[in-house]
Amino acid sequence: MPFADFAGSTTDGWVMNLVMGTMYLVFPAFWIGALSWAGIKVGGEVAGSLQKGAGKAQSAGEKGGEVASDVAGAAMTKGKSMMK
């Protein structure tokens, strides 16, 4: 039987080297790749959310500027008509 002397086989060392190489090289590389992919996806979502929030603040600022300009223009017009 080929598996009767499993512990003393000469190919066991080669197989164990493959297993250990996989554990120390391939699995960590896969893990780092998976975490990198997840980080890129989460970062993209966070950037999109911040951009939407900044867009709302920008539009609110534009509206406030328009209102202030209208009020200032009305005040200046009233002041000129009073001086005549």
Query: How many separate domains does the chain show?
Result: 1
Let me know if residue 9 belongs to a domain. no
Contact status, residue 40 vs residue 34, Cβ threshold 8 Å: no
Let me know if residue 51 belongs to a domain. yes
- Read off the pLDDT band of 70 (50, 70, 90): confident
Let me know if residue 69 belongs to a domain. yes
Let me know if residue 47 belongs to a domain. yes
Distance of alpha carbon 15 from alpha carbon 6, whole angstroms: 12
Residue 61: give the domain boundaries: 31-84
Give whole-number Cα distances, 77 to 5, 27, 32, 35, 68, in Å: 104, 74, 66, 62, 14
Distance of alpha carbon 10 from alpha carbon 47, whole angstroms: 56
**pTM of the predicted model, to two decimals?**
0.51
- Read off the pLDDT band of 62 (50, 70, 90): confident
Let me know if residue 82 belongs to a domain. yes
% of residues, the chain, pLDDT over 90: 29
